[in-house]
Amino acid sequence: MFPFAPGSPGGDREAGAEEPAPPGGRASAGGPPASPPAPPPPAAIVLGPTRSARRPAGPPPPQASPAKERRVAGAPEPSAAAARGEPSPPPPPSPPRRRPGPDCRGRRGGGPGGPGGRLLGRLRERSLGRGLFVDPARDNFRTMTTLYGSIHPADSVSLSTRTHGAVFNLEYSPDGSVLTVACEQTEVLLFDPISSKHIKTLSEAHEDCVNNIRFLDNRLFATCSDDTTIALWDLRKLNNKVCTLHGHTSWVKNIEYDTNTRLLVTSGFDGNVIIWDTNRCTEDGCPHKKFFHTRFLMRMRLTPDCSKMLISTSSGYLLILHDLDLTKSLEVGSYPILRARRTTSSSDLTTSSSSSGPRVSGSPCHHSDSNSSSEKHLSRASQREGVSPRNSLEVLTPEVPGERDRGNCITSLQLHPKGWATLLRCSSNTDDQEWTCVYEFQEGTPVRPVSPRCSLRLTHYIEEANVGRGYIKELCFSPDGRMISSPHGYGIRLLGFDKQCSELIDCLPSEASPLRVIRSLYSHNDVVLTTKFSPTHCQIASGCLSGRVSLYQPKF
């Protein structure tokens, strides 16, 4: 499909073939005939006396001088003085010649300016960590972009979901071999995304609708439900649950997992974030503890390196816990709070810190005077030590286009695969507008102990179709972070930061700019609620309110 070799040998001379040796010295008049020249040695320069070829019968030839024995193969013929037998100064040594190799010397177009030379130059730069081809993902992103851009709605495959209700969440296994579907009617469906075949239906997986699925590895996954429980499953034994976890008092909405500590993190509409220790899991459950609590909690996510926890609320606030330590429970007043502020776009990036006023009513965090003094004490102690406090909290109000004077609800929250940005789906409190926004993380040293250390800057946005009011639409990044798949009415839209689907860091605008629509795919007959990229294949899945699941992949 793509030319990988710089050239083809075709009818060229075979690489490594030697030129015929020049004729030997002429015999003097009346003298014995000169011996035929010796065959060319394998090396370019003869460093010692060589064996002569078999000579015809006759008088022995005259003794060759050391200068002649060390003659370079392919040197010019001796002068006339040497032919007459007169002594002549030895010729100056010529530079050594390298034998033509199979890389580019003996092939067409293999010179320094040919395709072979350019290819070797790129490979050399890559081995040295230079040039545009250092990151392997950069080598094939254009190919993947072309494949995704070639998908048509007719290429979709409808998976049979019968009457299982709306599809609330889709999740691939890390190796891309299994696609799981969280359904409204208490069931979980499993499909083979490659063959589009149904594998298993976990009937009555929960007692209420299933909201989210999360794989812990290639065989273990967790599901959460409105029945306030979390269930652990093993792909090798799907007839029974591994265990059921009890701890929430209201609907459980999403699940995260720290692969380093093997801690499961869940959040629900009871406002609690609970930590589950899967290292000590038994049939009766896992040890757990309440890690954090806030009002109006909607979604919770961990950054890929688990250094931050982001929490979105229905009141329009975004909470960020920095320098995350999941082994410590955070009670009210036990963590330093960075002042609440509104995120800025590029044009508002120079806003002074004086604009960070007191929290408005409805803020997810309220503290008494004693808590304020505790906060000041922790901030001063951390300032004296010169280190950042662990689990420090920042409260932000993300800016949404067209919503400067009205409140909004953050319904969906996702993170860039490399932790560079966060992706939000926001709707106005009156449900008359809906936006998809990308915010870049702005790392930096705090100006004051109570000022934010990491603010979010709005870089890209796009207005969404305001349909399916009251339902949460789950969007996602592609595995390389170059594209976004977003539910849009009865289909999905593939969005990019620019038309070339460049990396976010390569196309950061000076001011917030619209996301680019790469492809629109409409194959459902109802409102799409969730979409997901395959982690290993060029495939996208989407699920709608009527229970249909569609797979999009290019046809060859």
Q: Are 492 and 485 in contact (CB under 8 A)?
A: yes
What is the arithmetic mean of pLDDT over 517-527?
Answer: 92
DSSP 8-state secondary structure symbol assigned to residue 522: E
Residues 167-179, mean pLDDT to the nearest whole number: 95
Residue with token string 């792909």? 235
Token couple for 371? 């808590």
Per-residue pLDDT at 124: 62
Q: Tell me, what's the pLDDT at 93? A: 56
Structure tokens at 142: 């254009």
- Grade residue 432 by pLDDT with cuts at 50, 70 and 90: confident
> Taken in order 152, 158, 163, 164, is the CA torsion positive or negative?
negative
Amino acid making up residue 405: D
**What is the C-alpha to C-alpha distance for residues 210 and 214, in angstroms, rounded to an integer?**
12
Determine the Cα–Cα distance for residues 392 and 378; give it in Å rounded to an integer.
10
* Predicted confidence band of residue 442 (pLDDT cuts 50, 70, 90): confident
Cα angle 63-64-69, degrees, rounded to a multiple of 5: 150
* Residue linked to tokens 């001796």: 78
How many other C-beta atoms can be found within 10 angstroms of the C-beta atom of residue 208?
15
Mean pLDDT of the chain: 74
How confident is the model over 190-210, as a mean pLDDT? 92
pLDDT, mean of residues 187-197: 92
pLDDT at 67: 44
DSSP class per residue in 368-389 = -HHHHHHHHHHHHHHHHHTSPP
Angstrom distance (rounded) from CA 187 to CA 531: 18
Q: What is the CA radius of gyration of the chain?
A: 36
For the chain, the helix, strand and coil percentages under 3-state DSSP, each to the nearest 5: 10, 30, 55
Nearest to 267 by CA among 301, 316, 221: 301
Q: What is the pLDDT of residue 3?
A: 43
365 contacts 335 by C-beta, under 8 angstroms:
no
User: Which residue type sits at 370?
Assistant: S
AA identity, residue 451: S
Q: What is the pTM of this model?
A: 0.69
Residues 6+ apart with CB under 8 A from 88: 78, 79, 81, 82
CA distance 36 to 55: 7
| pLDDT, tens digit (0-9, with 9 covering 90-100), for 338-347 | 544 555 444 4
Reduce the DSSP state of residue 448 to 3 states and report it.
coil
Categorize the per-residue pLDDT at 335 as very low, low, confident or very high, splitting at 50, 70 and 90: low
pLDDT tens readout for residues 379-419: 444 444 445 578 888 998 888 876 555 557 899 999 999 99
Task: State the Cα–Cα distance between residues 209 and 226, nearest whole angstrom.
Answer: 6
State yes or no: pLDDT of 25 exceeds 80.
no
| Closest by CA position to 341, among listed 324, 370, 366, 320 | 320
Can you give the pLDDT at residue 110?
46
Q: In which band, very low, low, confident or very high, does the pLDDT at 528 lie, cut at 50, 70 and 90?
A: very high
pLDDT digits (tens, 9 = 90+) for 456-514: 899 999 999 888 888 899 999 999 999 999 999 999 999 999 988 888 988 899 899 99
Q: Mapping DSSP to helix (H, G, I), strand (E, B) and coil, where does residue 439 land? A: strand
Report which of residues 464 and 29 the model is more confident about: 464
Per-residue confidence (pLDDT) for residue 283, from 0 to 100: 85
Name residue 522's beta-bridge partners. 491
Both structure tokens of 476: 């996602």
Q: How confident is the model at residue 553 (pLDDT cuts 50, 70, 90)?
A: confident
pLDDT band at 329 (very low <50, low <70, confident <90, very high): confident
As a whole number of angstroms, the distance between CA 211 and CA 226 comes to 7
| Residue bearing the bigger pLDDT, 191 or 373 | 191
What tokens appear for 552 in the block?
Answer: 């999009």
The closest alpha carbon to 488, from 512, 534, 519, belongs to: 519
Q: Give the pLDDT score at 402.
A: 66
**Which has more confidence, 239 or 355?**
239
pLDDT of residue 43: 41
Q: Tell me which amino acid residue 512 is.
A: A
Comparing 169 with 137, the larger pLDDT belongs to: 169
Pairwise CA distance, residues 473 & 410, whole Å: 11
Calpha distance 523→540 (Å, rounded): 13
Write out 245-256 in H/E/C secondary structure: EECCCCCEEEEE
H or E element, residue 422: strand 421-428
**pLDDT value of residue 114:** 63
Question: CA angle 72-76-79, nearest 5°?
Answer: 115
Instruction: Give the pLDDT score at 465.
Output: 87
Q: What is the rounded CA–CA span in Å between residue 429 and residue 31? A: 113
Q: How far apart are CA 188 and CA 471, in angstroms?
A: 19
pLDDT at 21 exceeding the cut of 90: no
